[in-house]
Amino acid sequence: MLDKLTGLDREASRRRLGIPGYDMAPRFAVAGIVEASNGLGTLEELAIIQVLAPDAPLKIAVP
């Protein structure tokens, strides 16, 4: 989702030894107005899930 937002700059990892772990969340600094001009892609993802599970109740989580 974060790749769809503009106005954020990714900060360098603070880890000094070893490679960053898969569970380390990226950090961002606000560099301007934060926008998602083309949306976050949630409706497109819902359409794909509806095809895969047409009879299941569905919901979308947006952090």
Residue with the larger pLDDT of the pair 59 and 54: 54
Quote the pTM value.
0.58
* Chain Cα centroid distance, residue 23: 14
Rounded CA-CA distance 60/45 in Å is 9
Q: Mind listing the pLDDT tens digit for each residue in 16-39?
A: 777 767 667 788 999 999 999 998
pLDDT top residue among 13 and 42: 42
What would the pLDDT profile of 35-53 be if each residue is shown by its tens digit? Answer: 999 988 888 889 999 999 9
